[in-house]
Amino acid sequence: MTSKKIMRNTSLRHFPLIINGKEITHGSQDLVAPATGEVFATVAVATVKDVQDAVKAAVIAQKSWVALSPAERSNALLKFADALEQHSEQLANLESENAGKPIKLAKYSDIPVAIDNIRYFAGVLRRIEGVGAGSYMGGYSSMIERVPVGVVAAITPWNYPFMMAAWKLGPALAAGNAVVIKPAPNTPTTTIEMARIAISAGLPAGLINVLTGGAEVGEAMVTHKNVRMVTFTGSTRTGRRIGELAGLGTKRVTLELGGKAPFIVFDDADLEAAVQGAVAGAFINAGQDCTQAARIYVQQKSFDTFLKRFKAVTSTIRMGKLGSESTDMGPLTSQVHREKVHGMVLAAKKQKIKIELGGELPKGAGFYYPPTILVNAPQNSSVVQEEIFGPVVVVNSFKDEAEAIELANDTIYGLAASVWTLNIQRAFRVSSALEFGTVWVNDHLPLTSEMPTGGMKDSGVGKDLSHYALEEYTIPKHVMFDTSGDARKGWHFTIFGDQ
């Protein structure tokens, strides 16, 4: 496999870093549109000095932000969400071009869902409260305050750049923190636009700072002494490194990492619903989704019928121009990533794993890869055990409920899973036996702002979305009052008494 030469357009937009409300334009890195393979814009390149400046600005901004009342912070975030909505068409187009998404996905899902996340956190911040206030010792009263952590470093991946930024900014800002965020090097544009819109909507300078670059800038953020929390979404490998660095600095950390979701179809399922769910679950965002239905397990009796229909519906997926509403699936994010995905398919072929559909590198521009179905791959093969992160899915069979649970849980990951059955007792039994942070019953993929997402096992630590995420970004602080007014009373006097 050889890397193709990247083409360059003539007049390019240049995206800046955002530090303390100012646009910093130094350095230039090309940004390639995955659908064409051509450079469509350039972005400024952050330095370690920029990390220091951004954190300094965030420290100052956080002090005035937390001094606002919850109502004031909530109103400011609602204005921010409204401003994002006013720009939603522009944001959807940019996300589509930069991240290689069909316009339908960007316009009807990623952008509106992200804006809803911000609105949700703007609302829920008004009921941040501590539980357990009361009198727990004679002559004393206690209260719990939930205080912000301070400055949060957020590091996000390339697959859902705008949505991942919203998942971090929403709860972090709602809780009274300031943020320095670094999107993935190849997909920074909508995060930068988001910060620009925040400033135009009146959020204080320094509250959201955006840096670009890769590991060097990321590590400088994670290890900065004034960063008190790191929130990361990305691969398990990078997550471990970040966890290690954050641990050395005694920082709070949340890690939303990889997945290899099982999709379990029992003989008693609505088979057509399962097929439709599997097509969406497997090929959403060209399979570049941490909750992708990557391992489809079908009970033996239904296996042939399911596979035939799954193949037929998958064959109708339309790849094409991102701006067309008739396009269902876009390209992969980069040439390098496509080579990785194709390499895993070729390795499976070498191991005599049957390729039921796809598996061929398409000709033409861009980093497109066809929907690919592999069948009966051994449970210990890399296509069953490792994240492929492309439109490649394995369909295997199982004998009974016990085997389905065993195969599904046989993974280092624990992010998401689904079970398809019309038997309510089985649905309860299997969903509770699955070791995953989210389990869907008779569906796969939907998330809501009110419910948490996050992994077990090597899929990570902590939660995004919901009030559980808000808790990650606050510290329960115990304030204890002596209510007796008696200098010679209190528990210490029983120990140091008799003077």
Contact string (CB under 6 A) for ligand NAD, positions 381-400, x = contact = ------x-x-----------
Q: Indicate whether 238 belongs to the interface with ligand NAD (CB under 6 A).
A: yes
Question: Of 214 and 320, which has the nearer Cβ to ligand NAD?
Answer: 214
Binding-residue total with ligand NAD (CB under 6 A): 31
Whether 290 sits among the annotated catalytic residues: the reply is yes
User: DSSP class of residue 288?
Assistant: -
Segment 265 to 324, residues that bind ligand NAD, using CB under 6 A: 290
Among 95, 256, 356, 401, contact with ligand NAD (rule: CB under 6 A): 256
Among 235, 276, 385, 431, contact with ligand NAD (rule: CB under 6 A): 235
Among 102, 176, 243, 259, contact with ligand NAD (rule: CB under 6 A): 259
Helices (H) and strands (E) in the chain, counts: 17, 23
Q: Indicate whether 214 belongs to the interface with ligand NAD (CB under 6 A).
A: yes
Q: With contacts defined by CB under 6 A, name the span among 15-23, 232-240, 278-286, 368-376 that binds ligand NAD.
A: 232-240
Question: Of 19 and 427, which has the nearer Cβ to ligand NAD?
Answer: 19
Q: Indicate whether 242 belongs to the interface with ligand NAD (CB under 6 A).
A: yes
Q: Are 300 and 397 in contact (CB under 8 A)?
A: yes
Q: How far is the CB of 440 from ligand NAD (least distance, A)?
A: 15
User: DSSP class of residue 359?
Assistant: -
CA nearest 192: which of 74, 274, 87, 288?
Answer: 87
CA nearest 295: which of 464, 199, 417?
Answer: 417
CA nearest 491: which of 136, 143, 144, 145?
Answer: 136
Q: Are 253 and 232 in contact (CB under 8 A)?
A: yes
User: DSSP class of residue 249?
Assistant: T
Q: Are 360 and 345 in contact (CB under 8 A)?
A: no
CA nearest 421: which of 412, 413, 431?
Answer: 431
Residue closest to ligand NAD (Cβ)? 218
Q: Indicate whether 110 belongs to the interface with ligand NAD (CB under 6 A).
A: no
Question: Of 157 and 281, which has the nearer Cβ to ligand NAD?
Answer: 157
Q: Indicate whether 184 belongs to the interface with ligand NAD (CB under 6 A).
A: yes
Whether 471 sits among the annotated catalytic residues: the reply is no
Distance CA 378, CA 94 (A): 40
Q: Indicate whether 233 belongs to the interface with ligand NAD (CB under 6 A).
A: yes
Q: Indicate whether 82 belongs to the interface with ligand NAD (CB under 6 A).
A: no
CA nearest 17: which of 213, 214, 211, 216?
Answer: 211
| Active-site residue (options: 95, 97, 193, 290) | 290
- E strand residue ranges, 149-257: 151-155, 178-182, 208-210, 229-233, 252-256
Among 16, 34, 148, 258, contact with ligand NAD (rule: CB under 6 A): 258
Q: Which helix (H) or strand (E) holds 96?
A: helix 88-99
Distance CA 337, CA 389 (A): 9
The residues of the shown chain that bind ligand NAD, judged by CB under 6 A, are 155-160, 182, 184-185, 214-215, 218-219, 222, 233-235, 238, 241-242, 256-259, 290, 387, 389, 415, 453, 455, 460
Active site (catalytic) residues: 256, 290
